[in-house]
Amino acid sequence: MTALWALTMRNLKVFLRDRANVLFSLLAPLIVLGLYVLFIGRMQSDGIISALSEFGVTADDAVQAFSDSWMLSGVMATTCITVPLCACGIMVQDRIRGVSADFLASPVPSWAAPAAYFLSVFLAGACISLIVLGVCFLYIALSGSWLLSVTEVFAAVGTTMLSVLASSTMLVFLIGFLKSEGAFTGINIIFGTVIGFLIGAYIPVSSFPTWVQYITLFVPGSYSAGLFRGFLMQGAIDEMASVAGEPFAEALSEQFSVRLNFFGSELPAWGAAVVLAGVALLFASCFVLAAYLRAKKHRI
């Protein structure tokens, strides 16, 4: 366990020392936030306010809370993916420089190095994502849109941890097959750009064609986004229902894909959590098997 802890801390220090890499891991969430502040937020708020004005209803505060919580849900869902992805760069660097081979040839147990990679990716993703979540809570409080209960706050924290766990296991396994920094950089850029659209961080999933909506169901981040929206937006939806009526609030929730549509059926929060836990278990098993086969091949 001492070797595992030492290797994990070593990986974390290498990741945090590269400030450009840390900043790049936050690029996708910053893009979501920037687009919201500059364009999307105003468009969303104006559209909802215009729809309410037709019924003679004024609910600017409720609209602001709804828009803010929707945007921050997308920020958190992307953060829980892009931060672990960038932290996986340590694996690629070590493989190129021969450090991974040195670990296998050293007296350190063969399982320690792969386990340390996973733990460092998970810890980096969890710590930075929780910091981003704290910033999101601060933003909601300062903007006057705080409608969260204590239960919803802790549920958002739990969602963050589960989302990072699922992303880390999947990414550590997949990135383990890369053998060049160029390939990792390319995947990092492409994946970091596309993931925001696939999980509906920029545009509601309901706006996509049906076949694209089905594709998003095979992206684990979609379930993270669904959980974050369910917890962070519930207070705003209740407030909207109280000032504009239950039918309007339900229609608005459907239009903005607050509840995850699973092949025509609404997926409850526990269902999304089960999917993420299943993803974590599946890829953790695959990662352990791949690490065992690599170690066995090296001994031969």
- The pLDDT profile of the chain, 300 residues, written as one tens digit per residue, is 677 888 888 888 888 887 777 777 777 677 777 777 777 777 777 777 777 776 666 667 778 888 888 888 988 998 999 899 988 888 888 788 776 666 666 666 767 778 888 999 999 999 999 999 998 899 888 888 888 999 999 999 999 999 999 999 999 998 888 878 778 888 887 887 788 888 888 788 888 888 888 889 999 999 999 999 999 998 888 888 888 778 888 888 888 888 888 887 888 999 999 999 999 999 988 888 877 776 666 555
Q: CA-to-CA distance for 83 and 23, rounded, in angstroms?
A: 9
β-partners of residue 262 are 265
176, 290 Cβ separation under 8 angstroms? yes
Judged on CB neighbours under 10 Å (0-12, 13-18, 19+), 14 is middle
Q: How many domains does the chain have?
A: 1
75, 32 Cβ separation under 8 angstroms? yes
DSSP type of residue 209: -
Query: Which region, left, alpha or beta, applies to residue 259 given φ > 0 means left and ψ of -120 to 50 means alpha?
Result: beta
Helix axes 181-198, 27-35, angle to 10 degrees: 30
Judged on CB neighbours under 10 Å (0-12, 13-18, 19+), 71 is buried
Range of the domain at 48: 2-299
Q: Give the E-state strand segments of the chain in sequence order.
A: 261-262, 265-266
